[in-house]
Structure 1
């Protein structure tokens, strides 16, 4: 368990050392500073903020009040609880500190047990407030995503459905121009629908909600290959439009997975869609898909023979909204696909890697642990 971190600010060196040692013996990690300026320097240079600050009031260079005010000015430190140490009977100090938002006081000379009780109570209150805040934020995120789910998906589903109905209907005679317009509406609405699905999924994943969502949807999947073939079938129009030959090699039998089928299908879709998208625009272009077992892992590899990915872009391509070779591929999307694939792999205890070089194509390899009873 990680020790809670306390910053102790006191100009009386013997007292500083004594309190440090006592807090250390009580199981806390303690950093020290000899005045407010020294404390500010520590906060600016420290890679992580402390869980609590204990500070004297009367100090040279920068006293406790000034130190508290400077800490409260910085949004990154705003929620760090603060305990003042003050001489016994200095009621004005206590009143002034409360006006500035200090969390608690201990009066000197103090019994260490009193200080320890104050530390435990202050940290406990802050932990409770943080838990309540996180719970409310989690509920707010869910409400926002539920609204977005409904307000985006519902109208888009109508547009896609009616455009598809018009495009495939034989009841009406359309002019060539009108058929072209309908085809454009259908293609654009399908693209927008896929984008909305991706952005909503990415929002779930990056907000942390995906862990609880996955727990409710996780199941044992006996037919991973069927999910793969369904994804390929759903991309058939794009495959034909791009004139890409898709070759599929699936092991027999296909091992089972314990996973979220919605997220798995989404990851497969993005990997295959990217391979089609980045295939060369020439006759005979190929995409190769392989689903194989390797020890206790199921390996999905998707290969295209396009322009490949420069090494300097490989490092960044899993960044949210980063787009590879944007200048050459204006229609590649919003840059949400590969971050989604990475999140899906991480959620299921797997991994995603890419082997790529300029003008040699790319192979994306997703590894997922198989289900073993």
Structure 2
């Protein structure tokens, strides 16, 4: 598994003097940094766009052809995913005006040429250390805020919502209720609305639990060998029965024989399967005969839960984005309920189980989602 601790810090250096650029790059490489280079601001922007993740720090000259350092910095600060990257200016001019303008535009430090290479390395390490301290402080503060919000949601939202759900169910099943179609519709509307709010609340709580790392401890406490994954699927379907009924979709479940056990958390797995099924059913609406197929089968060293629908499908270029929190494909074109956190939860759950989630889809051809769980090896001599 990839360990962030083993990752070298990545620095982008932008400098039009190629001798100086190569010298800085070589020095930083010797000091165990990964280095990308560019000879002017536009090249720097191109380099940033090609990166999977933003660099840990940017060093840039100011006076360069094509695009100078000031414009480069301004463009960098316009992107939300680059806005927090520490930025150090290099310049042969140490005027107060240049320094002032650099700081106003968002630079964190300023080094005047000529400089000692060792001083540059020291400034780089100092700036990276300070940035790491600030991020740790911000993370701690965000965790505190998240915990307070969770407490409020758990006690001040979840509890009264549970009362509303319970009383709505009692009303719906009350034999003394007048036989009025309008009244029944009102009660059904209350049920659907409260169920939706209840699911939304639970989604936020679970997502916060998984995002904060608490889920790892929960998994360690609750995980156990599971042989009958069809029970997980049945439980998931039971929790979205209203959605299934209102969609008119048929759900067919097949279980291959002689499957090995997996180790898992039943609560988290049911939640992951529920979100996948919920999406499959929602996106099957509008079909003449909507159907969703679920098959549990062996797949190499894994046991797979495969969910297939015949819905509208998704552009393959967008499938990776489906795991981004709050992202919903084609939201502008299709009315959708929910907040788009379902597949983000699914990925978190599969990561906890050291498994994987894969999506295959194409417009007009439906979608197949595969949840892969590591099989528990049979006992030796068994």
TM-score by structure 2 length? 0.69
- Cα pair distance change 1:46/1:370, threshold 3 Å: same
- Cα pair distance change 1:279/1:363, threshold 3 Å: farther
Note the 1:12-91 alignment, pairs <5 A.
Answer: 18-30=23-35, 39-47=40-48, 48=51, 50-54=55-59, 67=69, 71=73, 74-75=76-77, 76-77=82-83, 79-82=85-88, 84=90
* Equivalent in the alignment of 1:174: 178
Q: Could you list the per-position Cα deviations for residues 142-183 of structure 1 after superposition, in whole angstroms to 9, with x for gaps in the alignment?
A: 44344344444333211111111122234x342324344323
Report the secondary structure of 1:46's partner residue: helix
Report the secondary structure of 1:2's partner residue: coil
- Cα pair distance change 1:163/1:105, threshold 3 Å: closer
**Stretch moving more, 210-219 or 190-199:** 190-199
Report the secondary structure of 1:352's partner residue: strand
- Contact kept, 8 Å, 1:221 with 1:261, in 2: the verdict is no
- Contact kept, 8 Å, 2:13 with 2:25, in 1: the verdict is no
* Equivalent in the alignment of 2:356: 350
Aligned: 1:157 with 2:162: yes
* Equivalent in the alignment of 1:124: 129
Aligned residues between the structures: 351
Shift of 1:299: 1.8
Report the secondary structure of 1:367's partner residue: strand
CA–CA separation in structure 1 for the residues paired with 2:258 and 2:73: 61
Aligned: 1:290 with 2:319: no
* Equivalent in the alignment of 1:368: 373
**Stretch moving more, 214-223 or 236-245:** 236-245
Partner of residue 120 from structure 2, selected from 90, 115, 122: 115
Shift of 1:288: 4.3
CA–CA separation in structure 2 for the residues paired with 1:72 and 1:14: 26
Note the 1:294-305 alignment, pairs <5 A.
Answer: 294-303=299-308
- Cα pair distance change 1:216/1:176, threshold 3 Å: same
**Stretch moving more, 112-121 or 270-279:** 270-279
* Equivalent in the alignment of 1:261: 266
- Contact kept, 8 Å, 1:5 with 1:50, in 2: the verdict is yes
- Cα pair distance change 1:144/1:255, threshold 3 Å: farther
* Equivalent in the alignment of 2:3: none
Aligned: 1:147 with 2:137: no
Shift of 1:231: 2.5
Q: Could you list the per-position Cα deviations for residues 226-252 of structure 1 after superposition, in whole angstroms to 9, with x for gaps in the alignment?
A: 333323334455556666655443356
- Cα pair distance change 1:124/1:290, threshold 3 Å: same
* Equivalent in the alignment of 2:190: 185
